[in-house]
Structure 1
Amino acid sequence: MTAYAPGFPTWAELATPDVRESERFYRELFGWYLYTLTGSLADYQIFTLGDVQGPEVAGMHQLADDTMAPEWTCYFRTDDIQATLDTVRAMGGRELSEPTDMANLGRMAHCADPEGADFALWTPYDFEGAGVRDEPSAMCWTELASRDIEGARRFYGEVFGWKAVDRSYYAPEYTNWKVGDWSVAGMVPLEEWWPADFDPHWIPYFWVSDCDATAARAAELGAVVHVPPIDIKPGRFAVMTDPCGARLAVLTPVAGSRSEPYGSGDAEVI
């Protein structure tokens, strides 16, 4: 990936109470390498594929204090962070952090939708975001779990200009969001079969070659698998929390479906 259009997910960032434990888990699970950027505020870890020269796939930082919950944060591209934040507030969301320049990398801000699901905005300078996507061990999808489907459709439609399209995946009312003809994110309703402590949230999906083997390996490494491997039209997926409690999902796409979940036109409907 050399560039991302506005409204597209660009990056996934892990906030963890234990950097070493998280490094161990993701190195073992996805084969990621890690290097550290030293900044004026705090160190920031970059996960890459292969070695230090490999493409960047995700970021990680230490939680500021023990009262904060471990989580993966999904970043979305915008050309005007302040204007996007104005829309977030106008639509009932909240600004969680002011726009901040991250050295020469880009400008970011954290916010939350009306249900409290947090996400981040990114305007790049020298760093566009993940250097690879839709390949094994890289992010391939982002998904919101929500209790207010219609409210979320209105909110994100205004904030990012997304068009909501109904899909029949593993939920009776699955939303596929598009920018133009391209699918960029999804939404599933939080229903009774979800764990009771799962509040509205965004999670990243990572591409794996064998969902069952990855879920089993994750459990061996200390993860808790909340949604065991299950087949859906785009492939086979599982949802888990890592050993520190951050939520993520893994997906093995069906053969020949490289354009799914990201895809153009209606070719993604299988």
Structure 2
Amino acid sequence: MTTRHEAWPPGTPAWADITVPDLTVARAFYGPLLGWDFEVGGPELGFYTQAFVDGRRVVGLGEPMSDEPAPPPAWCVYLATDDLAATAVAVAEAGGKEVVPPMPILDFGSMALFADTAGAVFGVWQAASHTGWDVTDEPGSMVWCEAMVHDQPAAVAFYRQVFRYDVEDLSAPGFTYSSLSLDGHPAAGIGRYGAQVGTDAQPAWTIYFAVTDTDASAARVTELGGTVVSPPTDSTFGRMAIVAGPFGEVFALIGPA
């Protein structure tokens, strides 16, 4: 378990949020599944909602703030920075693309969205009064984030250039995966889609939420209106399942093996 109220180190996953067509439906799904309580913000933020575990901030949820067609709902992982402008330059120099330009969010901090060289979208957050999530590595909170892509070496090179990660190759036969670390602490992972995944699969970041019982939580996903994409299986790091929420948004659950 990690509880933190200071800004996260640059390159560390620091926040995640999702834009959904109906916050009421989202709260009815995620609240019972992950034990979240919710706090709704004011109209100046479009009633952006924050989820909490035992009073500690874990993620954000919002609805579209304009009448423009919204992209399909998907969890967005934000990597921390202490200099958003410099990170934006680094992304461009590494071959990434700007999706949403850097902008301040009241006194909370500044954010931007980018796409890596594989096309996976991620956010960058420079904290001010909002330092990101307050807790990780306990039930209901983030425990891991990873990007799955088709050209894994190129993606690793991109993130290494932008955030100066140390890279550890964890690959095995039929499995290509690298862990990205900062000062000896694992921060995130970059993997290559397996042969069973079609070439049209969209490169994307996935967030893993910790649970106490992966099988029970996967069953609860279905009861609450989501779907199980990949059933619970044991791994080196715990028992995990890939699931989708009520709007088709994909995320992972992981608990004890």
TM superposition score normalised by structure 2: 0.92
Q: CA deviation at 1:193?
A: 2.4
Q: 1:167–1:8: structure 2 CA closer, same or farther, 3 Å change rule?
A: same
Q: 1:74–1:88: structure 2 CA closer, same or farther, 3 Å change rule?
A: same
Aligned to 1:42: 46
Q: 1:198–1:38: structure 2 CA closer, same or farther, 3 Å change rule?
A: farther
Pick from 167, 186, 193 the counterpart of residue 183 of structure 1: 186
188-197 or 174-183, which moves further after superposition?
188-197
Pick from 227, 232, 237 the counterpart of residue 234 of structure 1: 237
1:12-36 CA distance string (max 9 Å, x none): 1011122111111001101111111
Q: Which amino acid aligns with 2:180?
A: W
Aligned to 2:61: 60
2:208–2:252 Cα contact (<8 Å) kept: yes
Question: How many angstroms apart in 2 are the aligned matches of 1:169 and 1:137?
Answer: 30
Question: How many angstroms apart in 2 are the aligned matches of 1:148 and 1:92?
Answer: 14
Matched, 1:110 2:113: yes
Q: CA deviation at 1:175?
A: 1.1
User: For the aligned residues, what is the CA RMSD?
Assistant: 1.7
Pick from 7, 10, 14 the counterpart of residue 6 of structure 1: 10
Q: Which amino acid aligns with 1:59?
A: G
Matched, 1:121 2:124: yes
Q: CA deviation at 1:40?
A: 2.5
Matched, 1:21 2:30: no
Pick from 72, 77, 90 the counterpart of residue 75 of structure 2: 72
1:171–1:188 Cα contact (<8 Å) kept: no
Q: 1:183–1:140: structure 2 CA closer, same or farther, 3 Å change rule?
A: same
Q: Which amino acid aligns with 1:93?
A: G
- Unmatched 5+ stretches in structure 2: none
Q: CA deviation at 1:100?
A: 1.1
2:175–2:194 Cα contact (<8 Å) kept: no
Question: How many angstroms apart in 2 are the aligned matches of 1:239 and 1:196?
Answer: 19
Between the aligned residues of both structures, percent identity stands at: 33
SS at match of 2:136: coil
**Where does 1:73-88 land on structure 2 (aligned, <5 Å)?**
73-88=76-91
Q: 1:112–1:188: structure 2 CA closer, same or farther, 3 Å change rule?
A: same
Aligned to 2:165: 162
SS at match of 2:175: coil
Q: CA deviation at 1:168?
A: 4.6
Question: How many angstroms apart in 2 are the aligned matches of 1:220 and 1:100?
Answer: 39
Q: 1:234–1:41: structure 2 CA closer, same or farther, 3 Å change rule?
A: closer
2:174–2:194 Cα contact (<8 Å) kept: no
Matched, 1:142 2:166: no
1:13-63 CA distance string (max 9 Å, x none): 01112211111100110111111111435220000114xxx0111001113
Q: CA deviation at 1:176?
A: 0.8
SS at match of 1:71: coil
- Unmatched 5+ stretches in structure 1: 255-270
23-32 or 63-72, which moves further after superposition?
63-72
